[in-house]
Amino acid sequence: MSFYAFAGPENFQIAERAGLLSSAMLTQGPEVLRVINAISLRFIDGGLKIVAIVDASRTVAPRDTLVGIDIETDVRAMIFKALDWGGTPEWVPSVLIEAREPVTPLGDEIIQTQPDHGTAGFSVNWAGGSGYLTAGHVARMSGGPVYFTATGTAGRVIASREPSVATGTAPEPDVAVVEAAYTPAVNLHRAVVRPGAMEPVTLSTRLGQKTDNVRAYSDFYYTRTINGCYGQVFELMNGVARGGDSGSAVYDSHFAPIGTLVAGTPNGMSLVQSVTYQIQRIGVYGLTLT
The domain ranges of the chain are: 3-100, 102-290
pLDDT of residue 115: 45
> Can you state the angle between helices 12-26 and 73-82, rounded to 10 degrees?
100
The sign of the dihedral angle between the CA atoms of 68, 2, 29, 92 is negative
Single pTM value for the model: 0.90
Neighbours of 229 (CB within 10 A): 22
pLDDT of residue 109: 44
Q: For the chain, how long is the longest CA-to-CA vector?
A: 63
- Determine which helix (DSSP H) or strand (DSSP E) holds 17, and give its type and residue range: helix 12-26
What residue ranges of the chain have pLDDT lower than 50?
108-116, 189
Q: Read off the pLDDT of residues 15-62 as tens digits, 9 standing for 90 and up.
A: 999 999 999 999 998 899 999 999 999 999 889 999 999 999 988 888
Contact 70, 106 (CB under 8 A): no
pLDDT of residue 40: 97
Task: Residues 102-290: name the CATH superfamily.
Answer: Trypsin-like serine proteases (2.40.10.10)
**In the beta sheet, which residues pair with residue 229?**
171, 222
Contact 219, 231 (CB under 8 A): yes
